[in-house]
Structure 1
Amino acid sequence: MHSSTTRRAAAVVAGALALALAVPTAAAVAGTTATTGATSGTIDRAAAALAGGGVSTLADLRRPDVRPDALPTGGLSVTGETAPIHDPALIIDDDGTWRVYSTGLVNRENGGTIQMWSSHDEGVTWANDGTVWDEIPAWIDERFAGPDGQGTLPDNLWAPEVYEHDGTYYLYYSASRFGTNTSVTALATNTTLDPEDPDFEWVDQGPVISSPNEIAGGKTFNAIDAGIVEGEDGTPYMAIGSYWYGIFLVELEWPSGTLADGALQNATHLVDRMMAGNPVEAPYIAEHDGWYYMYVSFDACCQGLDSTYKVAVGRSRDVTGPYLDADGRDMVDGGGTIILQSHGSVVGPGGQSVSDGVVAFHYYDASNAAAPGFPTLGLQRLAWEDGWPVVDQTAAAPTVTAAPDDLTVRANRRASFEVEVSGTPVPVVTWEVSADGGTTWTTASARATRAADGTATWTIKHARRDQDGLQVRAVVANAHGTVRTDAATLDVTRPDHGHAR
């Protein structure tokens, strides 16, 4: 018996339990409202102090024209609601919205179905958009209950993959009985990814591939962790597998998105670790510059800070392989070039997907003091050297090199606070304000800034007299830590014409 499913479940259990512990810390770092010692009155006063001050909002700053290739390569720091995220499937929509679909919460919390997340500022600030469905489809429970109705039911749905073809979005998701390869990967379809669209509805299409089952001439596999790719001629394929004999490629057909005739018998064996347990899973194939690159996760997932997960890659001129690593070793014979592994506070990165040159993965956060090992979203924009993807694993905790200064302005004038920072990956900066002398702090704006040039600025376009005494501080964060600056104070004097607004 292989235990990859048990480990995966255990990690999401830990993440769900840790959520209640981590909320105060996570919220304080996030781009959503964060308070310390707050009452509704002090929050209202802080909100009133900001109202009408010209503070930018997230909606004002959406920039759908910015594509991932305009971003710096290397780690992309994130903020907002970025946990618990496991097995993220990243897709960047045509309107510039970044979306992630991830494994559901265990014990059927929130229904246990696939979670949805979105960012409207190039992957900086993330928000949870709920779940695909309110409950796990009834056919899954019937399937796992078995003829006697006594079978163990899945706690949650796993490892989503989202793929667009000819105006239809295909969502593949998995369900499994823990610790076994009694598994199924199923399909749902939609015409839009926007939950606000009146046509938004994930329509379940039922099972696509299941195990235990024979594949590729009598081998065994685990039917989870689907990754979808099209060949040069447009033929769709699914990479699938976890442990057992490893990773296989099976042919699909459009528009159904289901298995082509003879897909299991004619499957291609792509990856085998050639070691006890065969610890490989989460295949994802993406084309770049005439090559197909297969990304997989090696070793042990889902053990929190003891996880040894890492991302390996091989490439092929043909979508069906063979996939060779940078040393020329075939991945079906134990090959695979490691490109991403534990570094700094990023522990056990894996469960990856790739969209427009950005790799999304989960990792276990060693910098979260409230809940060490919390499963968290990671992003990296790939660089390329000699035809191979490169991930920057430089780890430097965020540092404030120049804190914001106290500021005196006349009423109705612009007030700008600036912070200078360093760290790798480039930190994200959010701003907090206090209207009660530092007792209560609340996030100043939904807009976070990835401080690519080492500076970040927060501006009140027209300072008002009732903002006199407002305290301002910056929150500087990357995957390896979080720091806050000392508070700077805003002094608003009377305007030149002698009366306040």
Structure 2
Amino acid sequence: MSRTRPATRFAVAALTGLALLAPAVPAAAGAATRTSTSATAATPATAPEPASGGISVTGETSPIHDPALIVDDEDGTWYVYSTGLLNRENGGTVQIWASHDEGTTWAYEGTVWDRIPAWIDAHFADGDLPGNLWAPEIYEHDGTYYLYYSASRFGTNNSVTALATNTTLDPDDPDYEWVDQGPVVTSPNPIENGKTFNAIDAGIVEDADGTPYMAIGSFWYGIFLVELEWPSGKLAPDALANATHLVDRFMWGNPVEAPYIYSHDGWYYLFVSFDFCCQGANSTYKVAVGRSRSITGPYLDKDGNNMFGGGGTVILQSHGGMVGTGGQSVYDDVLAFHYYDALNEQIPYFPTLGLHRLAWEDGWPVVDQTVDPATLTTAPQAASVPAGRTARFTAVAEGTPLPVITWEVSDDGGATWHAPAGGQPVTSPDGTSTLTLVRVNPLHDGLLVRATASNAHGHETSEPATLTVTRGRP
């Protein structure tokens, strides 16, 4: 696996450029080396049971496009696999991101491979080669992780969805290796009654009997369902001829893609992205859904309209700082998607990770699209503490989705800022976060502390609060 950092030379709202640090307050260059006088932060408390609603994310959350979310059952790490960078930047292969605090703080972990497999270049040798690998999907079955990914000649349905397998998600495990298993399905190729389709955007699901299926498609004739087989993870015999045509909008261009089928409470829910992605501020992507008792459909929306014929209930679309929401996956009731960040001051409309814990009302998934920018209702105050004791700074935030509060400290009068040692405290469901600095000493006298509340629709940073360390009792 490559651990090369994304480069910074592209400043456009596309799949290139820097994986940004904390969105509101990136640490100054070199600040991480100034740790000699930084007080030690206490270990963050265990987060309470999460409620439904948006998850405000921080850390390295861009450029993420087409996120496939999975949680490692071994250690609880959240992983997102996303589309590779354009023009084979960092090899152009599938990117990996990880969170160790249930989806709040993210870090870039590298790429699946250092380069696009040679067989893909051979497959496309008659013309332009794919500049990156697209739209990954990851699924676990019987101890094996199946990573599906797509390559395509942009603007055509000359495409392939392929497969790689691994026995662990942990890059530090000695058995960690993504083994390329080659192509699964290609297009142009006839599917169900001789129709044309585009072999990208795989989504994997099993029916009640454990039979695996792949939902696949983008524009052209729309979305199809094809049967797979275990343990190969590849097409069952006659899968294309026996495919089920799930979604067709019967409109110019048929703008539908990114199918993902999710089982919940006896229903199968088909999530798709309507309209157009990848256009920054002009993106019109939105997430729609239908449901069926049968994995093969028909999938009807809340009004009873069949998704094969234009139906689909839109549950997520552009709002506030989020533009062009789509490219979704669902894991354990968490909807993962990308959006173009209208509030990114460094690179406007950069593709960014979005997460939302679904609520369920009357058997339908619900996404709260309230726009309420993050604000600090309580800012950290100056503290005076005897040497050897513990200092505490508290901040409270409001907003929808619930803001995340991140903390920074400065030991040079505010010239540079960096994260406190020991990690970030959690933000509780009431918006409270407390930074605890243990065993302060005279070297910490004058330490500055500040808090930033952030969500997708805004951020606010407090004025610095000063720590004064007094002489303790003899």
Structure 2 length-normalised TM: 0.95
Question: Retained in 2: the 8 A contact 1:419–1:456?
Answer: yes
- Residue of structure 1 aligned with 2:53, choices 55, 74, 81: 74
- Residue of structure 1 aligned with 2:24, choices 18, 29, 50: 29
Does the alignment pair 1:469 with 2:440? Answer: no
Match of 2:131 in 1: 155
List runs of 5+ in structure 1 lacking aligned partners: 1-10
Does the alignment pair 1:232 with 2:208? Answer: yes
Alignment of 1:226-305 (within 5 A): 226-305=202-281
Question: Retained in 1: the 8 A contact 2:23–2:344?
Answer: no
Counterpart Cα distance in 1 of 2:352 and 2:464? 29
Q: Alpha-carbon deviation of 1:27?
A: 4.3
Question: Retained in 2: the 8 A contact 1:43–1:440?
Answer: no
AA of the residue aligned to 2:429: A
Match of 2:113 in 1: 133
Q: Alpha-carbon deviation of 1:72?
A: 1.2
AA of the residue aligned to 1:182: N
Counterpart Cα distance in 1 of 2:85 and 2:304? 40
Q: Alpha-carbon deviation of 1:305?
A: 1.1
Does the alignment pair 1:164 with 2:140? Answer: yes
SS of equivalent to 2:120: helix
Match of 2:37 in 1: 49
Q: Alpha-carbon deviation of 1:116?
A: 0.5
Counterpart Cα distance in 1 of 2:246 and 2:345? 40
Match of 2:455 in 1: 478
Counterpart Cα distance in 2 of 1:312 and 1:12? 30
SS of equivalent to 2:302: coil
326 and 307 in structure 1: CA distance in 2 versus 1, 3 angstrom threshold: same
Q: Alpha-carbon deviation of 1:420?
A: 1.4
Once the two structures are overlaid, the 10-residue window that deviates more, 264-273 or 365-374, is 365-374
Does the alignment pair 1:456 with 2:433? Answer: yes
SS of equivalent to 1:207: strand
Counterpart Cα distance in 1 of 2:296 and 2:282? 34
SS of equivalent to 1:142: helix
Query: Which consecutive aligned stretches of 4+ in structure 1 deviate over 2 angstroms post-superposition?
Result: 11-17, 26-30, 60-63, 445-451
Counterpart Cα distance in 1 of 2:90 and 2:12? 13
Counterpart Cα distance in 2 of 1:111 and 1:62? 38
421 and 134 in structure 1: CA distance in 2 versus 1, 3 angstrom threshold: same
Counterpart Cα distance in 2 of 1:261 and 1:43? 56
Question: Retained in 1: the 8 A contact 2:12–2:350?
Answer: no
Q: Alpha-carbon deviation of 1:28?
A: 5.9
Q: Alpha-carbon deviation of 1:483?
A: 1.5
- Residue of structure 2 aligned with 1:118, choices 81, 91, 98: 98
Q: Alpha-carbon deviation of 1:437?
A: 1.0
- Residue of structure 1 aligned with 2:465, choices 477, 485, 488: 488
Counterpart Cα distance in 2 of 1:92 and 1:73? 17
Counterpart Cα distance in 2 of 1:249 and 1:35? 47
Counterpart Cα distance in 2 of 1:355 and 1:109? 29
Does the alignment pair 1:100 with 2:100? Answer: no
Does the alignment pair 1:14 with 2:13? Answer: yes
SS of equivalent to 2:35: helix
Match of 1:4 in 2: none
For residues 291-312 of structure 1, the C-alpha deviation after alignment (integer angstroms, 9 at most, x for no partner) is 0000000001110011000000
Match of 1:401 in 2: 377
Counterpart Cα distance in 2 of 1:295 and 1:448? 34
Structure 1 length-normalised TM: 0.90
SS of equivalent to 2:308: helix
Question: Retained in 2: the 8 A contact 1:242–1:279?
Answer: yes
More helix by share: 1
Match of 2:306 in 1: 330
Number of aligned residues: 463
For residues 393-417 of structure 1, the C-alpha deviation after alignment (integer angstroms, 9 at most, x for no partner) is 0111111111111100100111000
Does the alignment pair 1:84 with 2:76? Answer: no
For residues 54-79 of structure 1, the C-alpha deviation after alignment (integer angstroms, 9 at most, x for no partner) is 3146xx7688xx8xxx3110100010
Counterpart Cα distance in 2 of 1:381 and 1:480? 17
SS of equivalent to 2:281: helix
For residues 450-487 of structure 1, the C-alpha deviation after alignment (integer angstroms, 9 at most, x for no partner) is 34212111011111110000000001111112211000
Q: Alpha-carbon deviation of 1:447?
A: 2.2
SS of equivalent to 1:145: coil
Counterpart Cα distance in 2 of 1:81 and 1:377? 9
Does the alignment pair 1:142 with 2:110? Answer: no
SS of equivalent to 1:453: coil
SS of equivalent to 2:405: strand
Question: Retained in 1: the 8 A contact 2:56–2:455?
Answer: yes
Q: Alpha-carbon deviation of 1:115?
A: 0.3
Counterpart Cα distance in 1 of 2:315 and 2:334? 14
Counterpart Cα distance in 2 of 1:477 and 1:448? 14
Match of 1:7 in 2: none
Q: Alpha-carbon deviation of 1:14?
A: 3.4
AA of the residue aligned to 2:13: A
SS of equivalent to 2:370: coil
AA of the residue aligned to 1:406: A
List runs of 5+ in structure 2 lacking aligned partners: 1-9
Question: Retained in 1: the 8 A contact 2:15–2:64?
Answer: no
Question: Retained in 2: the 8 A contact 1:407–1:490?
Answer: yes
Counterpart Cα distance in 1 of 2:84 and 2:463? 39
AA of the residue aligned to 1:213: N
Counterpart Cα distance in 2 of 1:342 and 1:28? 19
Q: Alpha-carbon deviation of 1:13?
A: 6.7
AA of the residue aligned to 1:259: L
Match of 1:179 in 2: 155
28 and 278 in structure 1: CA distance in 2 versus 1, 3 angstrom threshold: closer
Counterpart Cα distance in 2 of 1:77 and 1:255? 37
RMSD of Structure 2 on Structure 1 (CA): 1.7
AA of the residue aligned to 1:101: Y
SS of equivalent to 2:324: strand
Counterpart Cα distance in 2 of 1:43 and 1:291? 49
Q: Alpha-carbon deviation of 1:29?
A: 3.5
